[in-house]
Amino acid sequence: MSDDVTGRKFSREEQDALRQRVLDTKNGKDLRWKDIATESGVPMGTISAWAGGTYQGEGSPIAEKVERYLASQERREAVRAVAPDLGFVMTPSAADFMALLARAQHLPDISLLTGSPGLGKTQAICEYKRRNSNVFKVTAEPALNSVPALLTALATELRVNEAGRQDRIARMIKQRLLGTRALIIVDEVQHLSTEMLDQLRTFHDQSAIGIALVGNQAVIGKLEGGRRSSEYAQLYSRVGIRLHRRDALKADVDTLLDAWSVDELDVRKALHAVARQGGALRTCNKTFLLADMIAKHEQRPMTVEHVKVAYAQISDQRVPMKDTA
């Protein structure tokens, strides 16, 4: 524990005050000791004993970490106090994405959703999962690079015992899914191999469930290219619903700006220009939040200059002002 503490000595009174503050934080935010231990870097048994006054060791190193943790919590609250939190916003594209997921689940079918980064695909997926039952989501990544790794990830999501041979895990997943009218969503599907995609097709065929494959344009090259290879033929023939959205819709940006109550026409134009650059709605969202914080710090309404400053900090580029005219 001494690697990241300064060795400062805390008096009994200082430690008592920190104990009370951390207990107030825990109770006021309905946290677990596990949550506080993870963020503070103090083991759960140690932090709970120290806060309860029963820790027998030297308390100053713990007090120093707790003091840092509490200061971090205060900074987080200060940022959140000025940063608007809209939660999920149902943009027109998000509505289209969720409709595709619904059709995949209830037909059931294999669906393909592709698009550029920053369009809100992942947010729509998460919101659909939150609103509907029997929806299971796996996010592919370079480390998820084999059929056994895919089966393990699915078994974990489905709460199926992942121990045993590959064929046994696959059978348990099929049995778990059979008759459930479930939907399996795989995000970042461009990372999956032919064999992994074929395993998903098998679950669709044998358990009569929906599959939603979500990713970037590279997926189209694998599945829908003019020189589509025979190894993808069985999966391609089962893809019943396809949606590719390259750019954010103007209506998507307008929906976000309305949700943020952005009325100034020049500011709206500037944020529309940001949304047309790389990162689309994601970059637009980050730019707005930073511009809003800068404006609030200056105690002024948001202006185009705030948007320019924020976008430059996020992207190291200038807002293309010709697009704001």
- Is the pLDDT score of 308 beyond 70? yes
pLDDT, tens digit (0-9, with 9 covering 90-100), for 189-229: 999 888 898 899 999 999 999 999 999 877 766 665 544 55
Number of folded domains that form the chain: 3
CA distances from residue 295 to 230, 286, 304 in whole angstroms, order as listed: 56, 14, 11
Tell me: do 72 and 204 sit in the same domain.
Answer: no
CATH code (residue 44): 1.10.260.40
- Which strand ranges, in their side-by-side order, compose the sheet holding 135-139? 135-139, 183-187, 210-215, 110-115, 239-245
> Using 50, 70 and 90 to split pLDDT, how confident is the model at 75?
confident
Tell me: do 100 and 229 sit in the same domain.
Answer: yes
- Domain end, chosen from 198, 218, 245, is at 245
- Domain end, chosen from 50, 82, 114, is at 82
Neighbours of 324 (CB within 10 A): 19
Tell me: do 282 and 223 sit in the same domain.
Answer: no
Is 87 within the bounds of a domain?
no
- Cis geometry, peptide bond prior to residue 108 (ω within 30 degrees of 0): yes
Domain range holding 19? 2-82
Distance from C-alpha of 165 to C-alpha of 147, rounded to nearest angstrom? 12
Q: What percent of the chain has pLDDT over 70?
A: 90
Rounded to the nearest 10°, the torsion over CA 145, 147, 150, 155 is -150
Tell me: do 113 and 214 sit in the same domain.
Answer: yes
pLDDT, tens digit (0-9, with 9 covering 90-100), for 122-171: 999 999 999 999 999 999 998 888 999 999 999 999 999 877 789 999 99
Tell me: do 260 and 224 sit in the same domain.
Answer: no
Tell me: do 288 and 225 sit in the same domain.
Answer: no
Tell me: do 60 and 119 sit in the same domain.
Answer: no
Tell me: do 238 and 256 sit in the same domain.
Answer: no
CATH code (residue 102): 3.40.50.300
Closest to 133 (Cα-Cα) out of 182, 200, 186? 182
- Domain end, chosen from 220, 245, 270, is at 245
Tell me: do 31 and 135 sit in the same domain.
Answer: no
**Three-class secondary structure of residue 78 per DSSP:** helix
Distance from C-alpha of 204 to C-alpha of 152, rounded to nearest angstrom? 17
Neighbours of 256 (CB within 10 A): 21
Closest to 123 (Cα-Cα) out of 134, 109, 137, 111? 137
Distance from C-alpha of 296 to C-alpha of 279, rounded to nearest angstrom? 25
